[in-house]
Amino acid sequence: MSHPGPDVRQLGRVAVLMGGSSAEREISLMSGQGVLRALREQGVDAHAFDPAQRSLQELKTQGYARAFIALHGRGGEDGCVQGALELLQLPYTGSGVMASSICMDKVMTKRVWMAEGLPTPRWLRLESGELQLDRIRAVPDELGLPLIVKPPREGSSIGVSKVMGYSQMQAAVDLAARYDPDVLCEEFIEGEEVTCAVLGQAAQAQALPVVRIRAPAGGYDYQNKYFTDEVKYQVPSGLPQAEEQEIQRITLRAYRSLGCRGWGRADLMIRARDRKPFLLEMNTSPGMTSHSLVPMSAQAAGMAYGELCVRLLTEAALDHDGRGATPAAGGPA
C-alpha cells in the first residue's frame, strides 16, 4: 500500500546516469528514461546525464546533489562510476565500489558464494591463454552436457550460449571471448528460472516477491528480455510457500555476503529433479525498463514504479562518508 513519501525537494538536483559506453547502452537508455520520467512525475528535480558524452566532473560544477545510477554493464555497474562518485563526494544509488566490482564478475561472485556455502552451479574459468582447442573440448568432460558458456563480466545475456554437444564448444567460446578475455563455463541446471529482488542494506535488507520466468523455446535471451512479449512472468510466483521463502532466504544471504546495498536482483535456477535453488548472479544495477523485473516485483509488494524510484534515490549514499576515517585505537595508524 502506498504511503506519503519523503519531501522530494530535499533531494536537490538529481542526475540520472544513463547510456554509458558498455554493450548494454541501449538498455541503459531505456531504464534511464523510465526513471527520469518517474522521478519528475514525483516532483524531483531530475536531469538526464550520459557519462559517454559528458565528463563526470560536470556533476560537481553543475550543482548536482545526488545521482541515480541507471547504467548497466562495464563502466557503470562495475565499481568504476561508483569510485568516481566517491571521489566527487556525490551520493549515489545502489551498491558501493567493492560490491559493484565483485558482482560484475560472475567468477568472483561465485567464489564468495562458495566460501559462504551458498549453492551455485559448478563452473570453470578459461583464461585468455587457455583457449586452445584441446582445452576447450575437455570442458564438457568436467561439467557435463548441456552447459552454459558466457563472458564473466557482461550482462543482459550478451555473449551467452547453451552448448548441447562437443562440436558447439568452439563457437560458444569464440562468441564469449568477443566480450571478455576470460570465458566462464557453467553447469546447466535443468529447471525453472526465477529472480528475486532485494531492497535495503545489511540487517534491514528485505527480499521482494519472487518472479517466475517462463521463456519461449528460444530462451531468455537479450531479444526476449527487452524487445518481445514472448516471455511470461509470474508474480506472485505460484511456487509453494516454502520454496518462495527458501529462495528469498538464500538471496538475502547472497546479497549480504557480497556487501550489497540499496538494491539488487539475484537470478536463480530451481533444479527440476529435486527443487533445489542455485544462484547464478547478482545484479547491482538492475533494469528499470517496462519489461524489467524489479519494478514488477515491487508492484506485487504494493510499491508503484515512481515510489520505488524515489525510495532508491532517498537511500543514495557513499561508501566513505567519514565513518572509519580514523584508525581504531590500537590499530595501524
Active site residues: 24, 156, 226, 265, 267, 281, 283, 287
Q: 71, 4, 15: which is closest to 42 by C-alpha?
A: 4
Q: 101, 14, 26: which is closest to 312 by C-alpha?
A: 14
Place of cell 558501493: 96
Q: The sheet that has 66-69: what strands, in order across it?
A: 45-49, 13-17, 66-69
* Interatomic CA distance for residues 106 and 283, integer angstroms: 10
C-alpha cell at 103: 558482482
87, with CB counted inside 10 A (0-12, 13-18, 19+), is exposed
DSSP state of 40: H
332, with CB counted inside 10 A (0-12, 13-18, 19+), is exposed
C-alpha cell at 162: 547453451
* Interatomic CA distance for residues 34 and 18, integer angstroms: 10
